[in-house]
Structure 1
Amino acid sequence: MLYSNANLDAGQWELWEYNFASGEKKFLYAWRTQVAISKDGQQIAFQQLSLTNRDDIGIWIMNNDYSNPHRVLPGGLYPSFSPGGDRLAVMGNMEIYIVNSDSSGLRFLGPGEYPAWSPTDNRIAFRNCFGGDCGIWITDADAGGRTRLTTGGSDGQPAWSPNGQKITFISEEEGNFEIYVMNADGSGRKRLTNRPASDGLPVWSPDGNWIAWRSDDGGSWGIWVMRPDGSNQRRLFDAPVLPVWFFEKMAWRQ
């Protein structure tokens, strides 16, 4: 798993790797965050930050062995790969854009946040408020149009199951952020976490058998895992965050 970790002493985000088999955590890079992995596992997209060089800032892609990093866009947040790995959905200024992985073909898709491209087709889930109708929506990356899946004003951070049949998301409808799951058509909504803490940034394992997420349960931030039905919840390790954590998603690979 790749995840963002806050170095509180340095005041910076860092990209780390966690090995589920060994339990080892490994520091990779400073100022690389918001990671996404292509469906075939061969590409990693991330947001590059910099305090000294504007030419470093933006959305980048590198190989799965961390070689050949190259900038795709000079800005943007929250990258998400298309199923073929040849395109990215990104957000910026409350808008969603599509761009080819070679930096060509940038185009505006529509207003929204937290784009999540289905691993099986052209559907992109996202959060937005159209005419005050807030919630999770779905659009087609090429054909456009939109379908509303949820009606919660705080619903966000959608994440697809590997088979494209389920979507996890967060909602603050009961007083604090919790993790929910629903069918990809918006039916079957179910709450998965229930604790007096902030729970967010869910991500599915590649085999669909686990969901990882961040939580500050117990007063400190960490990364947790559970089954897709909400059972077997447990904390894996501490993972501090900076105050702005809503876009620091993780990516799980084989």
Structure 2
Amino acid sequence: MRQLTDESGVDDYPAWSPDGEQITFAAYRVDNWEIYLMDASGENQRQLTINQADDYAPAWLTQDRRLGFTSNRDGDDEIYTVGVDGTNLQQLTFDNALNSSAQWSPDGRRILYLSDDGIAIMNADGGAYQLTMEGSLDYSATWSPDGQQILFTRGFFADAEIYVMRADGTALQNLTDREGEDYQAAWSPDGSHIVFSSDRDGDRDLYSMNADGSNVRQITNTDGDDIAPDWRP
């Protein structure tokens, strides 16, 4: 394990590029969150957004050299995209709801995101539909590598669990089902395993399990909190 950033402030929301050569992340280094990009080695860090609002939760568009992210620059949280060179900013959502945490499907045709009403999917034509309902406390949603399932966290703190469902919202399954905090899960590149953060040993460490929730094993054992894992492609 090695440290990639060492700046004052907070660096969070890391996400690998599809080719595994770069990492995008959000950083709170002065007075707000901004989107950054760096090489996988931690070198060549550069700031992509410059705005007085908060820009955070970046994600890669699978088939393009662009990033999606969440920003409150229009007064509430909406989803935007920007080129990896920081140009060609585009806004994708335009409503009064809080829309965040966009994740592009593996085929690049759909966008998975969080709204006030729960987990939703937006098609390329702009049409959107809900997968989970308002009040279900769902977040950290992510596509399976084949685009057939969606992994997400439901609940907070002592009642946070990791769930999986089909991409149409059916076949909901609780993978962790324990008292405590299991959250921020990510698929392995082949979809056979899931890595996640858990407080089951007293503090937050990283664990892995099979895609069906079996064979849980601890990966890290540090004094600090290990959170927001993302598997390198």
TM-score normalised by L of structure 2: 0.84
Greater strand proportion: 1
Q: CA deviation at 1:101?
A: 1.6
Given that 2:69 and 2:102 are in contact with CA atoms closer than 8 Å, whether structure 1 keeps it comes out as yes
Which residue number corresponds to residue 204 of structure 2?
A: 221
Given that 1:139 and 1:145 are in contact with CA atoms closer than 8 Å, whether structure 2 keeps it comes out as yes
Q: CA deviation at 1:85?
A: 4.4
Which residue number corresponds to residue 15 of structure 1?
A: none
Which residue number corresponds to residue 16 of structure 2?
A: 37
Q: CA deviation at 1:152?
A: 5.2
Given that 1:39 and 1:85 are in contact with CA atoms closer than 8 Å, whether structure 2 keeps it comes out as no
Q: Tell me: higher relative CO, structure 1 or 2? Use CA pairs within 8 A at least 6 residues apart.
A: 1
Q: Is 1:145 matched with 2:132? A: no
Select the residue among 96, 102, 113 that pairs with 1:126: 113
Which residue number corresponds to residue 3 of structure 1?
A: none
How well do the aligned residues superpose, as a CA RMSD in angstroms? 2.2
Q: CA deviation at 1:172?
A: 2.1
Given that 2:5 and 2:42 are in contact with CA atoms closer than 8 Å, whether structure 1 keeps it comes out as no
Q: Is 1:98 matched with 2:81? A: yes
Select the residue among 39, 43, 64 that pairs with 1:63: 39
Structure-2 separation of matches of 1:78 and 1:85: 18
TM-score normalised by L of structure 1: 0.78
Q: What is the one-letter code of the residue matched to 2:125?
A: A
5 Å matches for 1:148-159?
A: 148-151=130-133, 153=135, 154-159=137-142
Which residue number corresponds to residue 22 of structure 1?
A: none
Given that 1:85 and 1:101 are in contact with CA atoms closer than 8 Å, whether structure 2 keeps it comes out as no
Which residue number corresponds to residue 80 of structure 1?
A: 59
Identity across aligned pairs (percent)? Answer: 33
Please give the per-residue CA displacement for 1:99-149, whole angstroms capped at 9, x wherever unaligned. Answer: 1222122122224122222222231111112xxxx2110113x42121111
Please give the per-residue CA displacement for 1:147-179, whole angstroms capped at 9, x wherever unaligned. Answer: 111125201110111111111001129x71100
Which SS does the other structure have where 1:60 is aligned? strand
Structure 1 gaps, min length 5 = 1-24, 243-247
5 Å matches for 1:186-201?
A: 186-201=169-184
Given that 1:139 and 1:147 are in contact with CA atoms closer than 8 Å, whether structure 2 keeps it comes out as yes
Which SS does the other structure have where 2:219 is aligned? strand
Q: What is the one-letter code of the residue matched to 2:106?
A: P
